[in-house]
Amino acid sequence: MGLVELPESHPLVRPGGTASAPLVRALRGDRPDRVPVWFMRQAGRSLPEYRRARDGVPMLDACLDPDLAAELTLQPVRRHGVDAAVLFSDIVIPLRLAGVDVDIVPGRGPVLARPVRTMADVRALPELPTDAFAPVARAAALAVAELGDVPLIGFAGAPFTLAAYLVEGGPSKDHLAARTLMLAEPETWRALVTRMADYSAAFLRAQVLAGASAVQLFDSWAGSLAPEVYRSRVRDASARALAGVADLVDPAGRGVPRIHFGLVCPGLLADLRDAGADAVGVDHRTPLDRAIELLGPDVPVQGNLDPAWLGAPEAPRLAATDRILAAGRKAAGHVFNLGHGVPPQTDPDVLTALVAHVHDWEAER
């Protein structure tokens, strides 16, 4: 695969852009002056301005309204001073834009009108139109125009997570139907997860070409799989998704940093790395120092404060934060984050104070 040089206008390339931003440096294995911090689901219901802007607007409609999506992307940067924006979108947006009948049901999550469980179902899945991601790219470009030297993170759902939604027809506690399909009908599963990888790769690439300076692949359900099943049925598809931006480089040949995050995956951390990630996101169930031991000291890590600490008293919350920051020094680079998304009931002032604490931590040592 040949390399494609990012344009001079891209934030990772242009003077005064994001190449020297703490987040990008940490993801590339460098040690910036402060530990960068952002939060999964930072653009969400914890912010009153988000609730006002989203009032009466269905989730997927908000994602596909470029002006609204850009505004929601920028809100946590303005309020909290985080070191990155993450594009306001949803992992099922590629499905919607391909023409799959999917919606977000409040209180439940993504729901499919028709599950995909046979090879005929897989073959009936539509191809993505060439310009499918135009509204996503427009939202990203609008956000980047306001962010200056603050990086925008693009993201996508991992192929297994998307495929699991399609097979189950919606959220599932154990993903039994998806796990059964991959074992009972391996050819059907391979065709499905490959199609999902191509959807996710195209989604990531559209965001980078519109100005994203890093990407994250979310594998929310990977922890439901035994390691050997993940390796034989899933990992190659995740690698295919991450490869969707692997050829995009700056003039020095440096790629766009790629983060791979999975939930409940202590036995899969090395596999997340080996799928083509530059950095690995660690959820709160695995101590960060243990994750670094499993990954090796040359791999940047992201994480991993338990979101439950956001509702706890300040002193123990900051003590838990300090333990994670200290552990992060053992890795090549560390981006502070939660081990999962921001709970909607979180007091936004707690997040703002947490960002300030993380930023001040190195200077106080």
Q: Kindly list the domain boundaries of the chain, sorted by start residue.
A: 4-361
For the chain, the C-alpha Rg in angstroms (whole number) is 19
> Residue 193 contacts by C-beta under 8 Å, 6 or more apart in sequence?
159, 160, 163, 182, 233, 234, 237
Of the residues 28, 31, 34, 45, only one is catalytic, namely 45
Q: According to the model, what pLDDT value does residue 215 have?
A: 99
Task: Check whether 340 is labelled as a binding-site residue.
Answer: yes
Of the residues 31, 41, 190, 323, only one is catalytic, namely 41
Of the residues 83, 90, 219, 271, only one is catalytic, namely 90
Task: Check whether 207 is labelled as a binding-site residue.
Answer: no
Respond yes or no: is residue 165 known to be catalytic: yes
The C-alpha atoms of residue 224 and residue 119 are separated, in whole angstroms, by: 23
- Asked whether 214 and 23 are in contact (CB, 8 A), the reply is yes
CATH fold label, 4-361: TIM Barrel (3.20.20)
Residue whose structure tokens are 């123990």: 316
Task: Check whether 42 is labelled as a binding-site residue.
Answer: yes
Of the residues 83, 96, 117, 165, only one is catalytic, namely 165
The C-alpha atoms of residue 186 and residue 143 are separated, in whole angstroms, by: 41
Respond yes or no: is residue 34 known to be catalytic: no
Of the residues 25, 54, 179, 273, only one is catalytic, namely 54
The C-alpha atoms of residue 199 and residue 175 are separated, in whole angstroms, by: 21
> In tens digits, what is the pLDDT along the chain, a chain of 365 residues?
699 999 999 999 999 999 999 999 999 999 999 999 999 999 999 999 999 999 999 999 999 999 999 999 999 999 999 999 999 999 999 999 999 999 999 889 999 999 999 999 999 999 999 999 999 999 999 999 999 999 999 999 999 999 999 999 998 889 999 999 999 999 999 999 999 999 999 999 999 999 999 999 999 888 899 999 999 999 999 999 999 999 999 999 999 999 999 988 788 999 999 999 999 999 999 999 999 999 999 999 999 999 999 999 999 999 999 999 999 999 999 999 999 999 999 999 999 999 999 999 987 76
CA distances from 108 to 105, 111, 179, 244, 314 (A): 5, 8, 21, 30, 31
Task: Check whether 363 is labelled as a binding-site residue.
Answer: no
- Find residue 156's DSSP bridge partners: 217
Respond yes or no: is residue 289 known to be catalytic: no
Select from 274, 269, 339 the least CA-distant residue to 302: 339
Task: Check whether 41 is labelled as a binding-site residue.
Answer: yes
Task: Check whether 235 is labelled as a binding-site residue.
Answer: no
